[in-house]
Amino acid sequence: MRIKKLNIIISLGLVAIIGILIAQLLWTKQAYNLEDRKFNQKVNIALMEVVDKMTEGKASFTENPVQIIANDYYVVNINNEFHPAVLEHYLKTEFTRFQINTDYVYALYNCHSDQMIYGKYMSSHQEEPSEKVIQFPKHKNLTYYFSIRFPDKTTYLISSLRFWYLLTFALIIILLVYVYSIYTIIQQKKFSELQRDFINNMTHEFKTPLSSILLASEALNKQELVQGNSKLQTYTSIIINQSYKLNNHIEKILNIAKNDASGLSLKPQKIILLPFIQEIADTIKQKNENISIQIEIENNISILADEFHFTNIIYNLLDNSIKYCETKSEILISSDKDSKGLYLKFKDNGMGIPAKNLAHIFDKFYRVNTNKSEEINGFGLGLFYVKKIVQQHNWKISVDNNKDQGITTTLFFPF
């Protein structure tokens, strides 16, 4: 069902972005056509003004003296003799007045020689006109006229629509980023499902022989021969204890995989910190006599938390402090408050964590590569589990190296 919903969302998003892109392209095309019509209108009005000034308003025409022969080619009927210098002056004046800032080529018809002459290339980037001569075709039905062409009209119109093209380009980039993001999400989802299936299969395959080992070991431990021999009883106890430890690791992996798929189910309740943590510390000290746990937490400080998972958080943090200490483990648990919330700190005298590894210690299956880590069994899931529970409660957790020795882990509970 989730995969189907994801496919629907991806398809709708893709269709929406493609639709917006198509609409943008259509708007850009429409804007170009509108700019083209505006340009033709401005040129037509400017040339009409040129005709009016050159004839001093005395000439009469039965039809529009300005004819658009092609998209960038115009023929203008003067219907009277005129001088090329005067024409050039009025063209410059009117084109400047109507803000037609693009290159153009003009030529006039000489009825005596029956040729188009005096063709000039007028550049908007040059103070003096170019002497390059351009040949123009003759118009059969006119006698006194000139022709004008705009060779860079398309470039000029495109440059006036820079914003539209930049917007279209930005939409194309967004579409490509969206497609790449969707591809990455699908690949990550496939990898996550493959990883979860592998973990589930692996752990289930381990549990079957492990259960057999536990049953056989417990049955063996009850035999009179074993109970009467202290050395054999020690060996069977080691087998049973290590089997239970391995079983706990497998259960932890299974729970992590299940929680990744369905999420954790929390049951928050009020917990008074001092007696709660004191009880956990006493339990740990019974199993590990060579440790010191000092608690400096104010009375009656309480939080809302899932009791089972919060217990596991405390156990994991204290267990790591004990395991990664090369001398007698000394742990200080303290609390602090400010205007933002409550801070619960776990300071130890362990071996610390290299600064380059601090950012990764909460990653799944991540373990700091040290000699001590190789001696300690584990899968790198303890702190990942802690981080997951903290996030589910909307708390925050951070780890910092102490100035002298060890680390300080801080849990932050916002008010």
Q: How confident is the prediction along the chain (415 residues), in pLDDT tens digits per residue?
A: 456 677 777 778 778 878 887 887 788 788 888 888 888 888 888 888 888 888 776 666 667 788 888 777 888 888 777 788 888 888 888 888 888 888 888 878 776 666 676 666 776 655 554 555 555 777 777 777 888 888 878 888 877 777 777 877 887 888 788 788 878 877 877 777 777 777 667 666 777 787 788 788 888 888 888 788 888 888 888 888 778 777 776 776 666 666 655 556 678 899 999 999 898 888 888 777 778 888 888 888 888 988 888 888 888 888 888 888 878 888 899 988 888 889 999 998 888 888 887 878 887 776 776 655 555 556 567 788 888 888 888 899 988 888 888 889 999 999 8
Sequence-distant (6+) residues with CB within 8 A of 389 are: 264, 306, 309, 310, 312, 313
The Cα 334–Cα 109 span in angstroms is 100
User: In this predicted structure, what is the pLDDT of residue 204?
Assistant: 65
The per-residue pLDDT for 261 is 53
How much is the pLDDT for 142?
77
**Which residues, at least 6 apart from 50, have a Cβ–Cβ distance to it below 8 Å?**
76, 87, 90, 91, 94
pLDDT at 62: 64
- pLDDT at residue 380 in the model: 67
pLDDT of the residue at 344: 92
Closest CA to 347 of 274, 412, 296, 384: 296
**CB crowding 162-197: b at 16 or more within 10 Å, else e:** eebeeebeebeeeeeebeeebeeeeeeeeeeeeeee
pLDDT of residue 345: 92
Name the pTM for this structure: 0.46
Confidence at residue 338, expressed as pLDDT on a 0 to 100 scale: 87
407's CB contacts (< 8 A; 6+ apart) are 321, 347, 348, 350, 352, 353, 399, 400, 401
Distance CA 288, CA 321 (A): 12
Query: What pLDDT was estimated at residue 253?
Result: 65
